[in-house]
Amino acid sequence: MARVETTERMRDELAELVATGTAPWVRCWDVGAGNGPLRDNGVPFTRGNAVWLHAIGAARGYGCRTWLTFNQARKAGTPVTRGARSATVLLPLFLTDDDGERRIRGYRSYSVFNGSECSGWMDPIAEPREVPEPTGLLAKLAAVWGGVRHEGNAAYYAPGPDTVTLPPRESFRSLAAYMGTLAHEKAHQSGHRSRLNRDGVANPAKFGDHTYAEEELVAESAAAFVLGIVGLATDDLRTNSAAYLRHWLKATRDPQILHRAMGHGIAAAEYLLKAAA
């Protein structure tokens, strides 16, 4: 009964924060961690651009992760050296159709240079952060359903191979931030057809549509409940969870979706905690 009352109280508090809060969602880890190619502002390149630049950097023997345009290098006071070789990356161009859907209508190409060929450029060095390794129940949460892979700069659940991937633990701002992100992805994993068989996971939806948005609401509310139950919830993390929920709530037009998603979130949190017990 105490667990039920605690969960109901957390649900009500979270719903209140969603309704009244204004703070934007903030990523709980440093995106510059890892070893992928970076833009001049430290944000990583993604998808095909990341693979392409990583391959070129390895082939040419560059020791720098950052890639800059000619003008970016000049403005930084580290101009491109004579004879430097560029690489081409693609920027998607979006078009919003009559239904409000954003679709890629084409690509624009532009050239970037590796920081190794920009006079005086040095990659920023991230301050080392010590995030303790999860122990006890936290370690069991991380280990369920195949554990977690740590690589890259993104946190995600892949339904096909049924795997969870997170950035390296030391790139997170705290153990609580790490466990909150882990619980979010594990909550997605709980929806696999061999477990709770939730529609948003068992029948993957297109990014941004109603079913996709509802699954994000389920996973984030479940993560907030898990953090509260294991004693890692903080005001900052609760506020951040509310901001994330508010963002995805705007992607739907269903006034009942938050209440329904939180119900599924409670079920996912309980299922995850039971699997880790």
pTM (predicted TM-score): 0.70
CB neighbours of residue 170 within 10 Å: 15
Element (H, E) at 20: helix 2-20
**DSSP code at position 194:** T
Q: What is the pLDDT of residue 8?
A: 78
The reported pLDDT for the residue numbered 4 is 66
Q: Which amino acid is at 206?
A: K
Q: In this predicted structure, what is the pLDDT of residue 127? A: 62
Q: What is the pLDDT of residues 126-161, one digit of tens each?
A: 566 788 999 999 999 999 999 999 987 789 999 999
State which residues of the chain have pLDDT below 50.
Answer: 1
The residues spanned by each domain of the chain are 2-30+130-276, 47-117
What local confidence, expressed as pLDDT, does residue 102 receive?
Answer: 66
Token couple for 93 = 């161009």
pLDDT digits (tens, 9 = 90+) for 80-117: 999 999 999 998 887 766 665 667 788 899 999 999 99
Amino acid at 63: G
**How many helices and strands (H and E) does the chain possess?**
9, 6
